[in-house]
Homo-oligomer: A and B are copies of this chain.
């Protein structure tokens, strides 16, 4: 229902903007909207959809390509003022780049800290949700931290990485695909967790064996020449580690018996291949393998040394002079001279006027703030969907390293907890912070958000124990963040089509990860900022 309505609305909107401002503006809007492309989304999706455009189509015209610093004339903003709502990555990028163009920028931030969902929790930190409060009890230690929001950076998110380089934020490798991690389904293999290396190696072995069989039976002669057949058989032998007769009877790639735990004395032996029928029985087994092949989850993934908030703090240092903290926006108005923003500053009603407003407030929060937006914008904001996601972390002895040779990476389960993340830093130390659950979407995400913090801990320990029986005895100081319950966020990341809100309402422009081709990613927040800047600069450029 909703998507039909949105498609219609998008078409109408594009026609309208085409009439109003010409095709150039329309094309640049389409670009930032990611029209004609499959929209990526954050950490959760297993793979790109099959709905991508025909790759043989001609390249899009240059103006469809997304804007970036360097596109805009220097001094474009001299004499102009901008008020930016929210000091997350989108808001701070906007302030940074617009200041460089000569705009006078002010950021209104509802809380006492900058960064938004870019956040790291350490011992002593508080976590306040709309109906609960927690204090993190981790030991004080540089390695003991928890990134409840963004926690990894793809190597091609080059704007975010460029800012890290510029600001001197040290980075290290983050692992998605650890072959020693576990895959667990309650429905397969008697509910026994399987080590990832076996699942991956045996899937490749079986695919290669079956295709070799078909090739050798001449079943694909309409596709393959005699030379092709010889070559593909050689390829398949390597791909699946097949025998000389193209059979698959196991491979050292799957590890040796007992390799789930340290202490096996059977190095050099092979394990029996997992049954193909069982690997086929649930899409879980393939989906979890495909995850680290997605463009935004491929190696090399990165993380800031010391916690994701190193990035937020570095941005903040660039624009701190422009941030008004604890300034909760109460009314957003287009006025004849520009915009007027009312806000509450620690109990005091305040007001600020500017030529433009760039609003990065999440739609979940924005829909409750008084405004004089057009009805169509209000309607879109009211209906904008967000993903319900949360994480819970524990301090623990590093049993996963000491007893299972797991250094970083992710285990997956069909249970609600969905994922267990092992720390990608501090290897070999006694203690670490393990993410006992990262869950998102659907009933699981909502259930988690609606649980009291202690219930989240209890549920996670019970389920994580199925993968790691050490968990209940070793994992302590559980602390959770459910983004739908976090004030001024009220959601994890945008899940609706961003197209409509990429267009301004009068002098008010919208930005944030939810309004980008990379929803749920910090790079998306940056791209959305560039888009908003581009539209403002176009107004100020003859």
Binding site for B on A (CB under 8 A): 34, 36-40, 46-48, 50, 52-56, 59-60, 62, 65-66, 68, 155-156, 158, 161, 164-165, 168-175, 177-180, 197, 200-201, 203-204, 207-208, 210-211, 213-215, 217, 219-220, 223-224, 228, 231-232, 234-239, 241-244, 249-253, 255-257, 259, 262-263, 265-273, 276-277, 279-281, 283, 285-287, 289-290, 293-295, 298-300, 302, 401-402, 405-409, 424-425, 427-428, 517-518
Contact = CB atoms under 8 A, between A and B. Distances in A.
Contacts of A54: 249
Nearest to A233: B280
Contacts of A270: 52-53, 55
Q: Which 3 A-B pairs have the closest CB atoms?
A: A37-B268, A65-B265, A219-B219
25 contacts: A37-B269, A46-B238, A50-B237, A50-B244, A52-B250, A52-B251, A54-B249, A59-B266, A59-B269, A60-B266, A68-B265, A155-B405, A155-B406, A155-B407, A156-B405, A169-B428, A173-B407, A175-B299, A180-B300, A210-B215, A214-B214, A228-B277, A235-B285, A239-B290, A252-B294
Nearest to A252: B48
Given A172-B173, A210-B220, A298 B179 contact: yes
Contacts of A59: 257, 266, 269
A189 to B, nearest CB: 16
A239 B178 contact: no
Given A241-B48, A295-B197, A269 B170 contact: no
Contacts of A238: 46-47, 283, 286-287, 290
A287 B52 CA distance: 29
A253 B293 contact: yes
Contacts of A52: 250-252, 270
Given A40-B252, A252-B294, A239 B283 contact: no
Nearest to A253: B293
A251 B48 contact: yes
B299 A409 contact: yes
A235 B287 CA distance: 8
Most chain B CB within a 10 A radius of its CB, from A220, A249, A269: A269
Contacts of A251: 48, 52
A277 B225 CA distance: 10
A502 to B, nearest CB: 14
A395 to B, nearest CB: 18
User: Binding site of A, secondary structure by majority: helix, strand, loop or mixed?
Assistant: loop
A121 B221 CA distance: 55
Contacts of A175: 173, 299-300
Contacts of A169: 428
A333 B168 CA distance: 59
Contact of A66 (B243, B250, B265, B294): B265
A253 B55 contact: no
Contacts of A40: 252, 268
Given A155-B180, A172-B425, A197-B295, 14 more contacts: A34-B268, A38-B268, A52-B252, A55-B270, A56-B249, A161-B405, A164-B428, A170-B428, A171-B427, A173-B173, A173-B407, A214-B220, A238-B286, A300-B409
A503 B479 CA distance: 56
A66 to B, nearest CB: 6
Contacts of A265: 62, 65-66, 68
Contacts of A173: 172-175, 407-408, 424
Given A158-B262, A300-B175, A55 B407 contact: no
Contacts of A401: 161, 165
A450 to B, nearest CB: 32
Contact of A241 (B50, B259, B272): B50
Contacts of A267: 37, 66, 517-518
A210 B257 CA distance: 33
A175 B213 CA distance: 34
Given A38-B268, A55-B273, A427-B171, A48 B253 contact: yes
Most chain B CB within a 10 A radius of its CB, from A53, A179, A252, A276: A252
A300 B409 CA distance: 8
Nearest to A262: B158
